[in-house]
With several copies, the nearest count.
Chain A
Amino acid sequence: MELLLFGIAKDIVGRSSIDLPSKGVQPRSVAELKELLIADYPDFSKLSSFAVAVNSEYAGDDVTLGQDDEIAIIPPVSGG
């Protein structure tokens, strides 16, 4: 399960993608992924907010994560 990182998320983690599971823990939902990230990288809790996209669509906390999903961390967008 590959996790893509953009913007400040990339700076916090120090890489543009990471492989899950992290430390042997495999998140089963968006909510679990967010908890895992904040535990591993406390700077995520300092952001205004951050969203998760699954297969390039915004995904709510209860969306389940599958092995083949493309998952991305979407920090606050600021285009335009």
Chain B
Amino acid sequence: MEEPILEIVEELDVSGVYKELSHPASGGICVFIGAVREFTNNEEVVALEFETYKAMALKEMRKTVTQASEKWPVNKVVVRHVVGTKKVEDPVVVVGVSSAHRDACFPACRYIIDTLKQTVPIWKKEIFRNKEVWVSAHP
């Protein structure tokens, strides 16, 4: 695996991710983009606010990508997550993996986004019309 691109950014432009993942030995590229949805449990979401513990988030991203590269033969990896306030349809995270065959890039991409959501210290507050809720904070 080449050195992965791991970033916390204020603005996320996903249009160039393909170029970053392109590689002469990669026949397959899998990209996941997470975006702000309009409704949560039938309540209209006005915005999402993301906060992170940046130094630790980058460390945890690196651990996750290393684990993925030990499980599957991947060539290039990009993980970018936003901080700040995001509106409906804005992208908030992009995970991209390139590998020789799609048997590797699909599960590696899925593994990285699944693990990121469980371990990387990033917190999301849902802003509704009349309230704000830190996601998953309470049982």
Query: Which residues on A are within 8 Å of B, measured CB to CB?
Result: 4, 6-8, 11, 46-48, 53, 56-58, 72, 74-80
> What CA separation (Å) do A57 and B125 show in the bound complex?
23
With both beta carbons as reference points, the residue of chain B lying nearest to A70 in the complex is identified as B55
> What CA separation (Å) do A72 and B113 show in the bound complex?
23
- 16 A-B contact pairs sorted by A residue (CB < 8 Å): A4-B53, A6-B53, A7-B51, A46-B138, A47-B138, A48-B136, A48-B137, A74-B121, A75-B123, A75-B134, A76-B137, A77-B121, A78-B124, A79-B50, A79-B121, A80-B113
Whether B117 pairs with A80 at a CB distance below 8 angstroms is yes
Residue count of chain B within 8 Å CB distance of chain A: 29
A-B residue pair count with CB separations less than 8 angstroms: 79
Whether B122 pairs with A74 at a CB distance below 8 angstroms is no
Whether A56 pairs with B134 at a CB distance below 8 angstroms is no
Separation in Å of the B29 CB from the closest CB of chain A? Answer: 12
> What CA separation (Å) do A76 and B59 show in the bound complex?
17
Does residue B97 face the partner (Cβ distance < 8 Å to A)? Answer: no
With both beta carbons as reference points, the residue of chain B lying nearest to A58 in the complex is identified as B119
With both beta carbons as reference points, the residue of chain A lying nearest to B124 in the complex is identified as A78
Chain A residues within an 8 Å CB radius of B113:
80
Separation in Å of the B110 CB from the closest CB of chain A? Answer: 12
Whether A78 pairs with B117 at a CB distance below 8 angstroms is yes
Contacting residue for A72 out of B56, B116, B139, CB 8 A: B56
Separation in Å of the B121 CB from the closest CB of chain A? Answer: 5
Separation in Å of the B100 CB from the closest CB of chain A? Answer: 14
Q: Restricting to B93-139, which residues have a CB under 8 Å from any CB of A?
A: 93, 113, 116-125, 134-139
Contacting residue for A77 out of B59, B117, B125, B138, CB 8 A: B117
Whether B137 pairs with A7 at a CB distance below 8 angstroms is yes
Given contacts A7-B123, A53-B53, A53-B121, contact A80 B116 (CB under 8 A): yes
